[in-house]
Structure formats: structure tokens, C-alpha cells
């Protein structure tokens, strides 16, 4: 079975609202690569795929993906192409957003569910993880994503958050928490 490891951090109070998520994500990636593989991120050339998905130029068998939302930043390292997404639940116009996100029959099913918010955010993170896995980004019409392609899983997150991982093959996932201090 393929393996993946998710490094996770909560944004420290002193960084909240300071728009430092990207810097925290880079630090989390740096720590994850060092701890798991002994790799110094700053000695590794990186490039971007056609739609901007970053990768380590000289390490084709090592893949990573990053996401952040609310107070969480996550970084997954895997031995296959992978996408991860986390999202804080916030009020939204679910009807309008679902029209652009899921096929019509699923749209009606989600809107009639007793827990519309939970179902909406599950679809959100799954579809975001998919387009991050494929590297297509928002160039892909999310309504055309087949839930039968590849392997996906919802992550166990605290209330008010949803998360998902998507890859070609099922993965055994391990979690590690890091307290990120910048400076």
C-alpha cells in the first residue's frame, strides 16, 4: 500500500490575521522534508506543472501538497501524486456555489440533506483535493470530476472543518503535529 504523511499545525495566536499562512506552510514543508527524508528544502530546486502545481525537480518519486484554512495549515508528503485540502466551515450561498461545483442530481441531494453545511464542505474539499492531485487547478470544471477516478478519503478534522486527500491509489495516512514558530 502507498504511504502518505500529513504534517499539521495550528497557526499560533501571534500570527493570526497577519496573512502568514504561506510562510507557515513553507516552514511546515521544510520541517516535514527534513524529518522524513533528511532533505534541506532550500537546496532543492522546484518547478511548477502546467497549471502551477509545484514539485521537487530532482525527486520525481517524492510528492507533496499543501493547504491552509482558518487556523490550520497541512502538508502531505507521499510516494505518488497527491492533493490535499482543508476548509473552515463558513456561511456561504450553498445553492449558488453548488451549481458550479457538483452535477445537478448531487446538487439536489445535498440541498435536501439535513446537514447541508457538512455535505457542502465535504464536496468542496474532495473536489479541491482532486484538482490539486491532478494539477489542473481551477481550469477544471468541478462538476465533471468523477468520484470513481483515483482514491479519495475525508480527513478526521475538528468540528467546523473539513479535509480530504486524493491520489491514484489508496494510502495509509499518518499524522504528525508541528508547532511552527517563524523567525
pLDDT digits (tens, 9 = 90+) for 128-166: 999 999 998 887 888 899 889 999 999 999 999 999 999
Tens of pLDDT, residue by residue over 19-42, are 999 999 999 999 999 999 999 999
Q: What percent of the chain is modeled with pLDDT above 90?
A: 81
Give this prediction's pTM. Answer: 0.94
Degrees to nearest 5, angle at CA 167 with 161 and 173: 60
H or E element that contains 131: helix 116-134
Q: What is the pLDDT of residue 89?
A: 96
Q: What is the pLDDT of residue 139?
A: 79
Residue 67 is given by DSSP the state E
State how far the Cα of 77 lies from the Cα of 114, in Å rounded to an integer: 35
Averaged pLDDT for residues 85-95: 93
State how far the Cα of 60 lies from the Cα of 55, in Å rounded to an integer: 8
Q: What is the pLDDT of residue 21?
A: 95
The overall average pLDDT reported for the chain is 94
Taking every pair of Cα atoms in the chain, the longest distance, rounded to a whole number of angstroms, is 51
Tens of pLDDT, residue by residue over 105-125, are 899 999 899 999 999 999 999
Q: Catalogue all structural domains in the chain, each as residue range(s) with its CATH number.
A: 2-177 (3.90.470.20)
Tell me: pLDDT of 1 over 80: no
Averaged pLDDT for residues 56-79: 97
Phi, psi of 56 (to 5 degrees): -80, 115
Per-residue confidence at 104, pLDDT binned at 50, 70, 90?
A: confident
Tell me: pLDDT of 12 over 90: yes
Q: What is the pLDDT of residue 141?
A: 87
Amino acid at each position: 500500500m502507498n504511504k502518505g504523511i500529513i504534517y499539521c499545525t495550528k497557526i499560533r495566536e501571534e500570527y493570526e490575521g497577519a496573512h502568514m499562512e504561506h510562510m507557515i506552510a513553507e516552514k511546515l514543508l521544510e520541517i516535514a522534508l527534513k524529518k522524513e527524508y533528511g532533505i534541506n528544502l532550500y537546496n532543492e530546486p522546484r518547478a511548477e506543472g502546467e497549471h502551477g502545481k509545484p514539485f521537487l525537480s530532482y525527486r520525481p518519486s517524492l510528492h507533496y501538497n499543501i493547504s491552509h484554512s482558518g487556523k490550520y495549515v497541512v502538508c502531505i508528503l507521499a510516494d505518488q501524486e497527491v492533493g490535499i485540502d482543508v476548509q473552515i466551515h463558513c456561511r456561504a450561498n450553498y445553492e449558488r456555489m453548488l451549481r458550479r461545483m457538483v452535477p445537478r442530481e448531487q446538487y439536489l441531494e445535498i440541498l435536501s440533506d439535513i446537514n447541508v453545511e457538512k455535505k457542502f464542505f465535504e464536496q468542496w474539499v474532495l473536489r479541491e483535493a482532486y484538482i490539486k492531485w491532478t494539477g489542473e487547478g481551477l481550469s477544471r470544471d468541478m462538476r465533471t470530476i468523477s468520484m470513481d477516478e483515483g482514491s479519495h478519503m475525508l480527513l478526521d478534522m475538528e468540528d467546523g472543518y473539513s479535509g480530504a486527500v486524493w491520489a491514484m491509489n489508496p494510502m495509509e495516512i499518518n499524522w504528525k503535529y508541528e508547532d511552527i514558530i517563524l523567525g
